[in-house]
Chains A and B, each alone.
Chain A
């Protein structure tokens, strides 16, 4: 893998077999491949239901690919997310591969500031510094300070999404996966998220994202990766 590459996907195939519905087989994609360079953003492209989110989740190993390789540059080496053991996958997620999902998975009782700081703490950043970074991000994303000590469970959808984004940027991940990061955001916050993504690219991170917002896509993405249309795509 060339030194400037952050991620290389080859022959990636994903099928769902749904046993609770009589073993229905859903072929989402097969034989996919693309490269992601440092400082580059690739936007996954295709109609709704073509498997963009499934691909993103497969890259994070949240979904288990049937076959193929997802090679990622991690800690001075290259790791295959498809064949690596869970422990290795977790190590890659801790230090190298970030994922901004569409929805925040709320942890009961944990204050917003800690929710945001958590990935940095887990990656070994001193707690005080992690909290400082979290504060900067929450401030930039216009989450009022009086909410920081509350768990985000009762926040509005837009606020939760901004907490989620802050969580995804609290560590300078070398590779970042983003699923509709600007959905349900107002114009100001959309601008902030675009800035954050731009800054990540500028420091050399590789980004893979799903952006339905054309303006966001035009400004952030360097390339489109077209997913082939599938008959029964989930």
Chain B
């Protein structure tokens, strides 16, 4: 079996030393149905970062989302697509703790103690989680940035909130992150309002990622940007997500954006998930009438 280019992750996986090569395997094969999610092909036996079960939310009598369920593992990006009003932004707000779900459960694998039900957390615990483990990239950078303080301070104050006090180190980290998102470090002391829309969005990403989050929520991160600016941002996000092994939930109505960033896709309509699966499978072989309509309506994805 030497021809198998098993990755380092697989080498220590649950199948290591299973003695399969050359042997008879009862049942003939192993599939995703026979092996539970947690056991199958884990990279080093990891477990879900977030598990969502039967999530629902209503604004008064109007149901915005219902029966939403998914599991997200470290390093995975889940795309949520659907038209305006499909419930995708409400779902994101529930996940990110801005709305309290009316139904269902969200389990999050918190450091260091393991899975916790987010509904049982105190407000202080929730805020700590947002400060230390989560990041949110808003569609409008003004919602994620502090427009009255410099670019460097926008990045640095996230570190200060974590207890960093060494001014030189904070400034160094800010410069590093400006460079990471391709903003000239000369602009460190400028206010974000002097930046273009694309630069503001990149600054927001630097501010989000400087704390080294495990989970990032992205709400139409490329919305409202020129196509060329969008391409740069997508490339940047793609690279950073891979390098930092980030997990993400990406809400977008642009299928091309979802194709580039998301490993898996959920298609929402009327508050429900109508189709989900591998991103390329959902986009290239859509099954649900709504997904087919969505895909065939796009110019080219």
**A interface residues, Cβ below 8 angstroms from B:** 1, 3, 16-20, 38, 57, 61-64, 69, 71, 73-80, 83-91, 94-96, 107-110, 122-124, 171-174, 203-205
B63 at interface by CB-CB < 8 Å: no
Contact of A78 among B29, B235, B284 (CB under 8 A): B29
- The answer on a CB contact under 8 Å between B3 and A123 is no
Are B41 and A91 touching (Cβ within 8 A)?
A: yes
From the candidates B4, B32, B293, name the one contacting A85 in the complex (CB within 8 A): B32
Q: Which of A61, A123, A174 contacts B278 (CB 8 A)?
A: A61
With A77-B15, A79-B29 in contact, do A110 and B3 touch (Cβ < 8 Å)? no
Q: Please, which residue of chain A has its CB at the minimum distance from the CB of B235?
A: A109
Q: A62-B280, A203-B3 are in contact. Are A78 and B285 (CB under 8 A)?
A: no
Whether B285 lies near A88 (C-beta < 8 A) is no
Residues of B within 8 A of A18 (CB): 292
Q: Counting CB contacts under 8 A, is B84 at the interface?
A: no
The answer, yes or no, to whether B124 is at the interface (CB within 8 Å) is: no
How far, in Å, is A90 (CB) from chain B's closest CB?
6
Q: Is the CB of B31 within 8 A of A3?
A: no
CB < 8 Å A-B pair total: 134
Contact B5 A123 (CB under 8 A): yes
Question: Separation in Å of the A51 CB from the closest CB of chain B?
Answer: 13
Partner of A94, one of B7, B22, B293: B7
**Partner among B21, B234, B235, B292 whose Cβ is within 8 Å of the Cβ of A76:** B21
Nearest-CB distance from B278 to chain A (Å)?
A: 5
Known: A74-B4, A79-B29, A87-B76. 12 other contacts (CB 8 A): A19-B288, A20-B289, A71-B29, A75-B41, A78-B20, A80-B32, A87-B41, A90-B278, A95-B7, A108-B231, A108-B235, A124-B8
Provide the residues of chain A in CB contact with B285, threshold 8 Å. Answer: 16, 57, 62-64
On chain A, the residues within 8 Å of B28 by CB distance are 1, 71, 78
Contact A63 B296 (CB under 8 A): no
- On chain B, the residues within 8 Å of A122 by CB distance are 242
Shortest Cβ distance from A17 into B: residue: B287
List 6 interface pairs A-B (beta carbons < 8 Å), by A numbering: A57-B284, A61-B278, A77-B20, A77-B25, A86-B277, A91-B41
> Are B31 and A84 closer than 8 Å at their CB atoms?
yes
Q: How many residues of B contact A (CB 8 A)?
A: 49
B40 part of interface (Cβ distance < 8 Å): yes
Which B-chain residue is minimally distant from A171 (CB atoms)? B5
Within 8 Å of chain A (Cβ to Cβ): is B260?
yes
What separation, in Å, do the CA atoms of A95 and B234 have in the docked complex? 25
Interface residues of B in 244-301 (CB under 8 A from A): 260, 263-264, 277-278, 280-281, 284-285, 287-289, 292-293, 296
CB-defined contacts of B1 to chain A, threshold 8 Å: 76
Query: Which residues from chain B contact A205 at a C-beta distance below 8 Å?
Result: 3
Contact (A75, B15) CB under 8 Å given A61-B281, A63-B281, A173-B5 = yes
**What CA separation (Å) do A205 and B1 show in the bound complex?**
11
Contact B3 A172, beta carbon cutoff 8 Å: yes
Q: How far is the CA of A207 from the CA of B87 in the complex (A)?
A: 44
Q: Is the CB of B18 closer than 8 A to any CB of chain A?
A: yes
Determine whether the beta carbon of A174 is less than 8 Å from that of B287: no
CB-CB contacts below 8 Å: B57-98 with A:
73, 76
Interface contact B5-A174, CB-CB below 8 Å: yes
Cβ distance B134 to chain A, nearest Cβ, rounded Å: 22
Q: How far is the CA of A230 from the CA of B242 in the complex (A)?
A: 43
Q: Give the CA-CA distance A1 to B16 in the complex, in Å.
A: 19
Distance from A228 Cβ to chain B, minimum over Cβ atoms (Å): 21
Provide the bound-state CA to CA distance between A116 and B86, in Å: 38
Q: How far is the CA of A174 from the CA of B2 in the complex (A)?
A: 10
Instruction: Judge whether B121 is part of the interface by a CB distance below 8 angstroms.
Output: no
B16 in complex: contacting residue of A17, A63, A76, A95, CB < 8 Å: A76
- Chain B residues with CB under 8 Å of A71's CB are 28-29
Closest 10 pairs between A and B when the two form their complex, measured CB to CB: A108-B231, A84-B32, A19-B289, A80-B31, A124-B7, A85-B32, A204-B3, A78-B29, A63-B285, A109-B235
Would you give the 0/1 interface string for B23-65, flagging 1 where the beta carbon is closer than 8 Å to chain A? 0010011111100010011000000000000000000000000
Q: Which residues of B contact A86 (CB under 8 A)?
A: 263-264, 277-278, 281
**B41 adjacent to A88 (CB under 8 Å):** yes
Which residues does chain A contribute within 8 Å of B235, judged by CB atoms?
A: 107-110
